């Protein structure tokens, strides 16, 4: 199981994995079919998505809490019976900012991850706290809350992955705008089940990524792939399919793998006006082709 290997990995990857004829490290984040937002996408239910991924040789799926409702255990078992792993769950409520979730809401997402049997729960932090300036104060609040939740997650067999976001989301969605920000908070918390989620959409521009990952022992728990469109029309809902944009996909994967990551490459594309309008079967076929040839 790739995620377990990721969490315990102590060696640095020396040679990039070859994907041309192997899709076992390919994972689908169901947001790619619109499942992260109610009323979006083509309307396939979770079991149909699982079956379609299994038919195409995907290795795993990451789900969103919105689509699981009260059936996380059932969906987890169905996924595994189809021969797929569960690469993760998205996401906790925000931990900082005006829209921060309550402790009970955050614990509920950890419970869902445990019920689903997902090793990793992704965290998008939320914005700056009311009345604060800059990000330092809000990062301290984030670290305090993470210290509490990481212990609860550990008791339930769940790891937490902090995802830094592109700086354009600073203020309302995140207080982690570089991978170094996320490493800093992980070091403040110092929990063995806390690590990083590296998303191409959010780090493709960051020339310090390689040095940051080389200089830390904080583990990478997730790697998300898509592309950055040169003329993006929406900062949230216009991600590109791999190869349609300007991100250096192979170079970013080299950096991530040399930092020790041997887990899934999780395709996560928010695309309300393009890919969410396509037949999901076609979207999945394109993903496989682009993954083999470009990623």
What's the Rg (C-alpha) of the chain?
18
| pLDDT tens digits, 255-286 | 999 999 999 999 999 999 999 999 999 999 99
21-285-267 Cα angle (round to 5) = 80
* DSSP assignment of 104-129: HHHHHHHHHHHHHT-SEEEE--B-PP
Q: What is the pLDDT of residue 70?
A: 85
Domain boundaries, the chain: 2-13+23-294
Q: Encode the chain (295 residues) as per-residue pLDDT tens digits.
A: 454 444 434 444 457 999 999 999 999 999 999 987 776 766 788 999 999 999 999 999 999 998 887 899 999 999 999 999 999 999 999 999 999 999 999 999 999 999 999 989 999 999 999 999 999 999 999 999 999 999 999 999 999 999 999 999 998 999 999 999 999 999 999 999 999 999 999 999 999 999 999 999 999 999 999 999 999 999 999 999 999 999 999 999 999 999 999 999 999 999 999 999 999 999 999 999 999 999 9
Q: What is the pLDDT of residue 238?
A: 97
Give CA–CA dist 136/288, Å, rounded. 41
CATH fit for domain 2-13+23-294, picks 3.40.190.10, 3.40.50.720, 3.90.930.12, 3.20.20.150:
3.20.20.150
Q: What is the pLDDT of residue 13?
A: 47
Q: What is the pLDDT of residue 254?
A: 97
Is the whole-model pTM more than 0.95?
no
| pLDDT tens digits, 15-57 | 799 999 999 999 999 999 998 777 676 678 899 999 999 999 9
Q: What is the pLDDT of residue 15?
A: 78
Q: SS3 for 61?
A: strand
What DSSP element (H or E) covers 265? strand 265-267
CB atoms within 10 A of CB 45: 10
Nearest to 153 by CA among 185, 112, 198: 112
Give CA–CA dist 75/213, Å, rounded. 34
32 burial (CB, 10 Å; 0-12 / 13-18 / 19+) is buried
Question: Bridge partners of 161?
Answer: 122, 195
Q: What is the pLDDT of residue 39?
A: 67
Give CA–CA dist 225/219, Å, rounded. 18
Give CA–CA dist 67/225, Å, rounded. 21
């Amino acid at each position: 199981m790739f995620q377990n290997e990721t969490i315990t990995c102590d060696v640095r990857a020396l040679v990039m994995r070859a994907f041309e004829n192997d899709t076992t490290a390919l994972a689908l984040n169901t947001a790619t079919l619109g499942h992260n937002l109610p009323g979006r996408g083509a309307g396939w239910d979770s079991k149909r998505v699982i079956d379609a991924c299994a038919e195409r040789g995907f290795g795993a799926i990451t789900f969103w809490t919105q689509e699981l409702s009260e059936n996380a255990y059932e969906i987890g078992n169905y996924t595994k019976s189809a021969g797929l792993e569960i690469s993760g769950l998205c996401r906790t409520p925000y931990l900082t900012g005006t829209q921060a979730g309550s402790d009970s809401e955050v614990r509920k997402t950890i419970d869902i991850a445990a019920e689903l049997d997902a090793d990793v729960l992704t965290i998008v932090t939320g914005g700056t706290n009311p009345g604060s300036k800059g990000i330092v104060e809000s990062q301290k609040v984030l670290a305090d809350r993470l210290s509490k939740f990481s212990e609860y997650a550990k008791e339930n067999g769940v790891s937490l992955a902090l995802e830094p976001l592109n700086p354009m989301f600073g203020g309302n969605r995140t207080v982690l705008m570089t991978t170094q920000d996320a490493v800093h908070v992980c070091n403040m918390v110092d929990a063995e089940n806390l690590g990083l989620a590296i998303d191409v959409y959010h780090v493709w521009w960051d020339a310090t990524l390689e040095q940051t990952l080389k200089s830390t022992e904080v583990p990478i728990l997730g790697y998300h792939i898509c592309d950055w469109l040169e003329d993006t029309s929406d900062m949230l809902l216009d991600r590109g399919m791999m190869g349609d944009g300007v991100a250096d996909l192979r170079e970013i994967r080299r950096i991530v793998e040399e930092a020790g990551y041997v887990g899934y490459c999780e395709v996560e594309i928010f695309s309300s006006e393009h890919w969410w309008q396509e037949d999901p079967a076609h979207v999945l076929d394109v993903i496989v082709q682009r993954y083999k040839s470009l990623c």
